[in-house]
């Protein structure tokens, strides 16, 4: 038991942060649809565009899917990395019949948890 106590003292703050992160994101998973906020339509459209592009093997910086095929640049205002991460997780979880929207919510939960860890450590 004496060998386990120091390990528990090290792990306890991270477990508390995980519990609070799940509590903070609880409503995300209990509601249908995606969270409505600043630029949420834009971000989800770019996530869906990245998702379709990855499925078809399209790596062009111009999207053939957005704006009715007019040709909108994918990386105009925001970094494509968060959109790409969500799309990749969506593709990997589609095997388990998990939607792209759920992978979006999972990444939001993970980002809240990881941000909490960084704030705790700093």
Interval 39-48: pLDDT, tens: 777 888 888 8
Composition of the chain by helix, strand, coil, percent to 5 = 70, 5, 25
pLDDT at 11 over 80: yes
Res 113: pLDDT: 93
Closest CA to 46 of 69, 72, 28: 72
| Range in 12-16, 67-71, 103-107 with the lowest mean pLDDT | 67-71
Q: What was the pLDDT predicted at 114? A: 93
Residue 93 has pLDDT above 70, yes or no: yes
Position with higher pLDDT, 93 vs 69: 93
- From the centroid of its chain, how far is CA 110? 7
Does the pLDDT at position 69 exceed 70? no
61-68 contact pairs (CB < 8 A, 24+): none
Tell me the two tokens of residue 93. Answer: 């979880």
**Mean of pLDDT over the chain:** 84
Percent of the chain with pLDDT over 90: 23
Q: Residue 6 and residue 87: Cα distance in Å, rounded?
A: 39
Q: Structure pTM?
A: 0.77
């Amino acid at each position: 038991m004496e060998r386990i106590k120091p390990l528990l003292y090290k792990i306890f703050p991270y477990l508390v942060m995980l519990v609070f992160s799940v509590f903070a994101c609880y409503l995300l998973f209990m509601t249908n649809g995606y969270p409505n906020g600043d630029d949420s339509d834009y971000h989800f459209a770019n996530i869906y565009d990245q998702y379709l592009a990855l499925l078809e093997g399209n790596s062009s910086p111009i999207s053939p899917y957005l704006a009715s095929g007019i040709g909108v640049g994918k990386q105009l205002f925001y970094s494509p990395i968060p959109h790409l991460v969500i799309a990749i997780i969506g593709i990997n979880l589609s095997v388990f019949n998990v939607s792209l929207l759920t992978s979006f919510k999972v990444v939001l939960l993970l980002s809240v948890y990881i941000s909490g860890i960084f704030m705790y450590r700093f």
